[in-house]
Structure 1
Amino acid sequence: MSSQTAPDQSAPRRRQPRRRRWLLGALPPLLALLIAAILAFSATNDPWPAGMAADETFFTSYSSSIKSLDPAVSYYVHEGEILDSIVEMPLSYHYLRRPYELCPMLASAIPVPRYIGHDGATLSGDPPPEQVARVEYDIELIPGIRYQPHPCFAKNSDGTPHYQQLTPRDLKGFRRIGDFPAQDSRELHAEDFKVALVRLCDTRLASPVYSTLKSFILGMDDCSAQLKNDVATLEADASRDGRDIGMHPVLPDYRRYDLAGLQVIDQHRFRLVLSRKYPQAIYWLAMHFFAPMPWEALAFYHQPAVMDARLSLKNWPVGTGAYMMHECAPADHVTIVKNPNFRHEPYPNDGSDDDRHAGLLNDAGKTTPFIKRVVFQFEREAIPTWIKFLQGYYDNSGIPNDMFDAAVAMNPNGELALSQDMIQRGIRLNTGVAPTIFYFGFNMLDPVVGGNSPRQKKLRQAISIALDYQEFIDIFLNGRGVVAQSVIPPGITGAPADGPTGVNPFVDTWDDLRQTPRRRPIDDARKLLADAGYPNGIGPDGAPLTLFLDHASAGQSAFKAQFQWLRQRFDLLGINIQERPSDLNRWRDKVNTGNWQIIFNKGWLADYPDPENFLFLFYSANGVVNSGGRGANYVNYSSEAFDAVFKQLESMADGPERLALIQQATRILQEDAPCCWGFHPKNFILTHAWLHNYQPHEMSKSFLKYRRIDAAQRQQRQRDWNRPRLAGIYAALGIVAVAASAMILCSKREDLP
């Protein structure tokens, strides 16, 4: 056996040339600099996934959290922007016509009321409300309308739902409706409207419109009582079976309940029945509370495994609209995409000359929707939203208060218009007075500021004069508002006319020179205050009058500044105003029990474009205290004279006689002054030049399908506005080149003998 000698481990290694070692050591930092330079060249501030801005995607934002997208519950404007593009209603509004005009949506025509007398005979014309025992609206649906694809409609060959064969383990990884392997659709049925309306009667939902609807729609109270009993029985049975009804609520079969107020005639027709005359009911049919609800969707979302996957109607509504939910992460973003089953209705082909001049009829008659995807991004702060808009990454934007002077300037006519910088960018300004009222309210149950005696009225009128809301609008709203002359906003029938005849004579006068209303002199307010028993603000007890402002806005910087303004205005009358802050729950309890004195900037947004929707805020039966917290008459105003006029106009069709009653009711409120009427906000919305067919609409949010994007123009502007700053990059590359040259020269010197 031969033997081998082990190598000598101590033998010296051959040394590498100096230059090679030097270069090897210098290579990592050189590469790092080079990579940094390459990344700097390719870097982008585009917040959207690559390529998304190149197609017909509309980018917008929301700043308030989303509570629910369930059509029975959702009641916020920013939720309606999403929800009303997914679900549809029997009626909608014409996109371009002003004043606002109803038009068919799911219905084939606008239904006409049929009045039935106490003897069961049909009444002709427009009968007085006391002769009407019942009102019927027959709604006929457009045939062939189909729901968006959804797993609730997918069935096996034996007719059973396909999703039922999925195990909880299968569903565990599902986060979107699109994760389900089988989806299908079906035609819209009249029964779907019955299911939706019966569901509103389920007290567990706490629908915000139930109390209003039940007072007019026949049988809703009875249906609600029956549902409540049945739910209690179902919950008792479920609890005995060990089911956690908090995590997995029971579902009554809404299809089997009798509801006298909604009768299914056949697959494409149903009848809405009211217990009394109420012409404004027609507007309900354009609200998403009347969107159809397929029973299959409710059954699907009540599957325990589906609920455990946190999929529900609150986040994943089902409808027939132009768009369907694609992604729903409410704390971050919501994405909706084209509904492949949508019937592609045409863009409106009629509008005003102004609409035509603005290019709003360029797409007349073309099939919609134009935009294939809409991204709603949650932005908590206004400034980041504004910056992304200026970079071209949002297609529309409001104007933050801090940025108002940069975006808007006074033109030679004394009107607010776009600044030169915005004009050069091709940005458009869209303005309009919102159908909203913000008011300063007096608790009419309070012994000091309430009551209907002449002296109490004069006290409120004096305070109303002192609260110069034009000054408030100029200071706090950058001029974005209109001083309210009554509770009815401009654009709504019965709103005060432009000119001297539309001025509230108890608070304002007409300025002929400026052709605008202005507050009466403060001396007029002081005289009214003296007549009210408070000369120079001093009461009968010799002490200054002190009033208490109740609020839940403690800690808000904007409120602090506004309260200082209030204090200065009250000082003009010698009245001392003090805060009584509380948390939100306590404040709501104060309002519901009438335990407050004055409130500030209480608001009301119209549900439908009729003056009754504002005047009912002062009907005595709607008083918050009187109704046990269910009414909207927050100031608890009560006047026999106003109630008598309101009850007449409430049930009348529009016409000269009704308009006269509206004006009479308005004058009563102006004199009694249960509120200082405050202001109607004016919306300022900016849009980029590549966004077409943008027309603000304050009554409906279902018009995303009409907007159009020029994606090529958007991409070009984004490139122009977001070019990388290359000076620093070139400097870095220069450093790389110099360093590399120095290293090479040094290495050559080291290799010299």
Structure 2
Amino acid sequence: MKRFLRLALAGLAALGLATAQAGETKTEAKTFRYAYRVAETGFDPIAVSDLYSRGVTAHIFEAPYTYDHLARPVKIVPLVADGMPTVSSDYKQFSVRIKPGIYFADDPAFKGQRRELTAADFVYSIKRFADPANKAQAWTQIEELGLVGLNELHRRVIERKQPFPYDEPVAGLYASDRYTVQVQTKQPRPRLIESLFTGNDLLGAVAREVVETYGDQISAHPVGTGPFKLVEWRRSSQMVFERNPGYRERHYDAQPPADDAQGQAWLAKFKGRRIPMVDRVVIDVVVEDQPRWLAFLNNEHDFIERVPEAFITQAAPGRKLAPNLAKRGMRAEFSVAPDMTLTIYNMEDPVVGGYTPDKVALRRALSLAYDVRKEIRISRRGTAVPAQALVVPHSLAFDASLKTENSEYNPAKARALLDLYGYVDKDGDGWRDLPDGSPLVINRKTEADALSRSVDEIWDQALRAIGIKLVLKVAPWPDNLKAVQSGNFQTWKVGSFADSPDSQGNLQRVYGPAKGTANLARIQMDEIDRLFERTSPMPDGPERNALLQQAWRLVVAYAPYKVHVHRLLTDIEQPWMTGYRRPVFWLDFWQYIDIDPARQPHSSQR
């Protein structure tokens, strides 16, 4: 009864959100509901690195540029920018013009005044990444761009242990007038616009007044210029968002390829409609696969993102929607993710870390012992392909023909490597020991969900087969992330989605200055760092790709990561939902989908 009353009241509240758009008549609010498989961590762009929190911030904040959600290959288009940027011929000077008349969502921090978005907001938002006190997850991404004066300011603040001087002018980052952002770099940066000004989740503008008002509670008070605002948050349980009532008049448009029948159909159906088209979004956090799948089948959710591997044969055998679901009017979206899954080895750990031949041999032996194809067959039910290196599908330098030792399964070679470097059973207990005679135990951080349990079992079997003991340490995903970022781990597994077509972004995983952020393995190799820095100013092309592949092969050789798979994803929408296309290098999509309340189950059933 309480659940019925709560849902009924929520439904009544949502009705108050309904507003008539030009040419439309609405009698009922549109609520879009789905589930996350992992809990969020917070909603301050500088503090988030996980996919799930960034999936929220992408709908609240806005960067100057975004990606056309239907264009393939992907295409950058203006969002709050007034046209494409002005770029110097040497790729060192960039000018971005912001459209006048765009406003932040109303918030008490603005003291009852409408707050217009200006160029200064982007300058401030970028400076927040450079403030050492914020420990920003993406600082190394911005640091590597080499904006004139910004890195030096960052270092000076650290050395002098002083507060960050946000009002101090920076030669390479400033507002030349109310609506124009100017950037100057030390070296050519051909991809600066996608690195610094594209991507709402991290690079959207925040208002200084909001940050100063909420202080250390800013992660619970996201205020942006985007189409949605957070109205309710029960941590690790549920998030509720409403249409931003002050959102500017923006209309559906896209450029799908001529041969994309579904994309062309959506363009014909929605072109000119004001977005967002839904009034309310509710995200439940449902960690276990079975309840999440059943909630979708029982019409409690309008959409299931990434059908759980355990149920893929029921949902879409042979990458085709099951007849019983098709009969109900559902639609499946199949895609190859621009992602990779990884086992991370802490390069500073005394057991699995280090660069000497015996340590490298241990990590390579662990990887050789693991059967990725067994994981694909058993744990993932065929929904993945083996990965070869730190490069993902859809990125510019991805080579589907590349084959490396990373995907090799060879227990005999693993045992031979261990024997050669002295990892043998010295005390007769049946388990291998370290060369100095102390016990060899691999500690793996993990989570309690079904997929993790299945993959962990394969790891346990693999290591047992070569005489190594595995100990699993189970904790919630956000807790594990914090521990790994601080270096308090030995091994962990994680998935990684690319947020840019540029393959170099993946090399942040092994770039020394990115330790503790993108570089979770905490690897530090001068040769890899030099390759990273050498490729940054280079234009796209075969020469640059060759250097990137050289770096990836070094990563395979030193094995700070075991790259497992690239995932084949299946998303399914209910018959009353339409318009979904899985994002590639971006995370926002709520504004492009529509819900038909007349076909949607009544709120009392949801």
Instruction: Give the TM bin, normalised by the shorter chain.
Output: 0.7 to 0.9
Give the alignment's TM-score, normalised by structure 1: 0.66
Please, which of 131, 134, 148 is the counterpart of residue 218 of structure 1?
Answer: 148
Query: Quick one: which of 376, 386, 394 aligns to 1:491?
Result: 394
Does 1:424 find its partner at 2:327? yes
- Report the secondary structure of 1:676's partner residue: strand
Distance of 2:526 and 2:131 partners within structure 1 = 34
Q: Give the distance between the partners of 1:478 and 1:571, measured in 2 at CA.
A: 23
- Which residue does the alignment assign to 1:396? 303
Per-residue deviation, 1:612: 0.8
CA contact (8 A) 1:359 1:693 kept: no
Q: Does 1:290 align with 2:203?
A: yes
- 8 Å contact kept, 1:552–1:583: yes
Report Cα offsets for 1:418-442 as digits up to 9, x if no partner.
2222111111222323333222345
Counterpart CA distance in 1 for 2:276 and 2:266 is: 14
For the Cα contact (< 8 Å) 1:202–1:228, is it kept in 2?
no
Output the CA distance in 2 between the equivalents of 1:558 and 1:666: 27
**3-state DSSP class of the match of 2:535?**
helix
**Aligned AA for 2:124?**
V
- CA distance in structure 2 between the partners assigned to 1:586 and 1:64 by the alignment: 12
Structure 2 contact 309–383 (Cα < 8 Å) conserved:
no
Shift of 1:634: 0.6
Q: Who wins on radius of gyration, i.e. which is larger?
A: 1
Q: Which residue of 1 aligns with 2:62?
A: 88
For residue 501 of structure 2, what is the aligned residue in structure 1? Answer: 609
**For residues 541 and 446 of structure 1, do their structure 2 counterparts lie closer, same or farther at Cα, with a shift above 3 Å needed?**
farther
CA distance, structure 2, for counterparts of residue 586 and residue 146 of structure 1: 36
- Cα distance, 1:341 vs. partner? 4.0
Superposed counterparts of 1:451-530, under 5 Å: 460-497=363-400, 501-504=401-404, 506=405, 519=408, 522=410, 525-527=411-413, 529-530=415-416
- Matches of 2:417 and 2:143, distance apart in 1: 45
CA distance in 2, matches of 1:711, 1:363: 17
Where does structure 2 lack aligned partners over 5 or more consecutive residues? 16-26, 434-439
Does the CA-based 8 Å contact 1:433-1:482 persist in structure 2? no
Question: What is the correspondence of 1:495-574 to structure 2 with a 5 Å cutoff?
Answer: 495-497=398-400, 501-504=401-404, 506=405, 519=408, 522=410, 525-527=411-413, 529-530=415-416, 533-534=419-420, 538=424, 545-546=432-433, 547-553=440-446, 561-572=454-465, 574=466
- 1:677 paired to 2:563: yes
Which residue does 2:175 correspond to in 1?
264
Query: Which of 335, 345, 361 is residue 241 of structure 2 equivalent to?
Result: 335
Distance 2:347 2:213 in 1: 49
C-alpha displacement of 1:566? 1.9
Question: What TM-score comes out, normalization by structure 2 length?
Answer: 0.80
Determine helix, strand or coil for the equivalent of 1:346. coil
After superposition, the CA RMSD in angstroms is 4.2
User: C-alpha displacement at 1:557, in angstroms?
Assistant: 7.2
Deviations 1:225-252 (A, max 9, x none): 787899979xxxxxxxxxxxxxxxxxx9
Kindly report which structure 2 residues correspond to 1:639-658, keeping only aligned pairs within 5 A, or say none.
640=527, 642-658=528-544
1:363 aligns with 2:269: yes
More divergent stretch after superposition (526-535 vs 188-197): 526-535
Matched, 1:144 2:118: no
Distance 1:290 1:151 in 2: 23
> Offset of 1:674 from its aligned partner?
4.0
Q: Secondary structure at the match of 2:534?
A: helix
Once the 2 structures are TM-superposed, how far is the Cα of residue 364 of structure 1 from its aligned partner? 5.5
Q: Is the 8 A contact 1:537 1:575 kept in 2?
A: no
Displacement after TM superposition at 1:705 (Å): 1.6
Structure 2 residue corresponding to 1:636, chosen from 523, 527, 535: 523
Deviations 1:254-305 (A, max 9, x none): 4x33233321111111212334344443222123443233344446557xxx
1:576 CA displacement: 2.2
Aligned to 2:46: 72
**CA–CA separation in structure 1 for the residues paired with 2:214 and 2:233:** 16
1:690 matched to 2:576? The reply is yes
Query: 1: CA distance between counterparts of 2:374 and 2:133?
Result: 45
Q: Which residue of 2 aligns with 1:406?
A: 314
What residue in structure 2 maps to residue 274 of structure 1?
Answer: 185
Structure 1 residue 365: Cα displacement:
3.3
Shift of 1:493: 1.8
Deviation at 1:555, TM superposition (A): 7.1
Name the count of aligned residue pairs. 578
- Give the counterpart letter for 1:368 in structure 2: R
| Matched-pair contact (CA < 8 Å) for 1:461–1:673 | yes
Classify 1:439/1:552 alpha carbon distance in 2 versus 1 (closer, same or farther; 3 Å).
closer
Corresponding position: 1:198 with 2:127: yes
**1:71–1:355 CA distance, 2 compared to 1 (3 A):** farther
Give the residue type in structure 2 aligned to 1:292.
Answer: A
Letter in 1 for 2:252: P
| 1:30-57 alpha-carbon deviations (Å, 9 max, x no partner) | xxxxxxxxx9xx9999795258594333
Per-residue deviation, 1:636: 2.2
CA distance in 2, matches of 1:291, 1:60: 24
Instruction: Specify whether residues 391 and 683 from structure 1 end up closer, same or farther in structure 2 by C-alpha distance, changes over 3 A only.
Output: same
Instruction: Show the 5 A alignment for 1:649-668.
Output: 649-668=535-554
